[in-house]
């Protein structure tokens, strides 16, 4: 049993990585008052252009930088539409998602009609000396890729920035009461722009995981809804960094359950009493695949009513004369 749990958690931590970065991306944006449902599009675009930079330069460091810059560019577009033009923030985010899907799909077919070029590499996995040899926990926590470790560091950094720095105080003030913040001399526009673009950089790292850490190729729609699950993790985590971490791990573990059950040969639900099988119902593998999404719906159904978002989130701000 312990071997099953260990193998599931070894897979769950990397699976949580894009959810953590996506959740933190939404955290900075929404804490400043800008709704961000464009996380999916930002990650997808970052995955693609990070891959392109890696293929063209052969330098994974530049590829990682390209993914981050792509996330920031997409976030800048969302910021301009939402803040400067005061477009409905849900519509703006939807536009970003549709743009990313169409652009990456089109360019992928044009540039690589026969598949990804050979020779592309992924970022190395790092085994932390001594710690990686700890029984049970060593393999779970200390044998992962660079981006996986960076996700957990980012949670701590985000908590420090939001709750222990002047800039974090300004972000929270703008997200709660922008007029009062403006009266106190804080530029609401500047804080919101900076927060959304910083969130784009984090989404870029989440996108980089797919093509620079997980597999050395790009596949259309490879983010597979992770941006929306990250948004769910943000809500379930009550707009806090460690809440995002916990929710992301929860959803990642739920995501690994179907594959773990299939590997272990679980294909049915049976009830046996006193040696007599009362029923044995076969379960199609598609049902297991639905589990992460069903859990997301159930969790949000129970959490949304108790999760209180920033007071001014989703409200366009007009500077007072």
Q: For 89-148, how does the pLDDT look when each residue is reduced to its tens digit (9 = 90+)? A: 999 999 999 999 999 999 999 998 877 776 678 999 999 988 888 988 998 999 999 999
Residue-level pLDDT at 319: 79
So what's the pLDDT on residue 285? 66
In a domain, residue 310? The reply is: no
When divided into structural domains, the chain yields a total of: 1
CA dist 280 and 98 (Å) reads: 44
Tell me phi and psi for residue 177, to 5 degrees: -150, 85
Q: Is residue 33 part of a domain?
A: yes
Provide the pLDDT for residue 178. Answer: 96
Return the number of other C-beta atoms located less than 10 Å from residue 3's C-beta: 9
| SS3 (DSSP) at 8 | helix
Residue 320 lies inside a defined structural domain of this protein: no
Neighbours of 31 (CB within 10 A): 26
SS3 call for 223: coil
Tell whether 319 is covered by a domain. Answer: no
Q: What is the C-alpha separation between 10 and 256, in angstroms, rounded?
A: 10
In a domain, 308, yes or no: no
What pLDDT score was predicted for residue 202?
98
Q: With CA atoms as reference, report the closest residue to 292 among 235, 224, 210, 241.
A: 224
Domain presence at residue 93: yes
Start-to-end C-alpha separation, the chain: 66
Going from the first residue of the chain to its last (321 residues), give the mean pLDDT of each consecutive group of 10, the final group possibly shorter.
78 95 98 97 97 93 97 98 95 97 95 76 90 89 95 98 97 96 95 98 98 92 94 92 95 83 63 59 69 74 72 88 59
Predicted model pTM? 0.92
CATH number at residue 70: 1.10.3470
Q: What per-residue confidence (pLDDT) applies to 280? A: 62
Domain range for residue 189? 2-303
pLDDT of residue 185: 93
Q: Is residue 309 part of a domain?
A: no
Neighbours of 316 (CB within 10 A): 17
CA dihedral for 196, 198, 201, 206, sign (positive or negative): negative
189, part of any domain: yes
pLDDT the model gives residue 41: 98
pLDDT at 159: 98
Q: Supply the pLDDT for residue 271.
A: 52
């Amino acid at each position: 049993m312990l071997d099953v749990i260990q193998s599931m958690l070894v897979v769950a931590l990397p699976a949580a990585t894009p959810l953590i970065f996506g959740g933190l991306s939404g955290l900075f944006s929404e804490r400043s008052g800008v709704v961000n449902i464009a996380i999916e599009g930002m990650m997808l675009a970052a995955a693609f252009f990070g891959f392109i930079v890696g293929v063209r330069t052969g330098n994974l460091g530049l590829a990682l930088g390209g993914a981050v810059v792509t996330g920031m560019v997409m976030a800048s577009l969302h910021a301009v539409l939402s803040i400067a033009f005061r477009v409905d923030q849900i519509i703006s985010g939807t536009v970003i998602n549709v743009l990313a899907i169409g652009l990456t799909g089109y360019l992928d077919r044009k540039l690589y009609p026969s598949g990804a070029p050979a020779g592309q590499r992924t970022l190395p996995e790092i085994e932390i000396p001594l710690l990686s040899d700890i029984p049970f926990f060593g393999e779970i926590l200390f044998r992962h890729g660079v981006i996986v470790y960076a996700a957990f560091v980012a949670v701590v950094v985000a908590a420090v920035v939001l709750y222990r720095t002047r800039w974090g105080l300004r972000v929270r003030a703008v997200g709660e009461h922008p007029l009062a913040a403006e009266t106190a001399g804080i530029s609401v526009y500047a804080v919101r722009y900076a927060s959304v673009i910083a969130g784009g950089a984090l989404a870029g790292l989440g996108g980089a995981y797919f093509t620079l850490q997980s597999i050395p190729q790009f596949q259309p729609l490879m983010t597979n809804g992770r941006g929306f699950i990250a948004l769910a993790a943000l809500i379930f985590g009550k707009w806090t960094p460690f809440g995002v971490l916990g929710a992301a791990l929860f959803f990642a573990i739920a995501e690994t359950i179907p594959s773990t059950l299939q590997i272990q040969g679980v294909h049915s639900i049976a009830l046996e009493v006193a040696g007599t099988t009362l029923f044995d119902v076969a379960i199609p593998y598609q049902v297991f695949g639905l589990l992460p999404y069903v859990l997301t719906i159930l969790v949000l159904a129970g959490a949304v009513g108790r999760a209180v978002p920033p007071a001014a989130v989703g409200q366009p701000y007009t500077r007072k004369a």
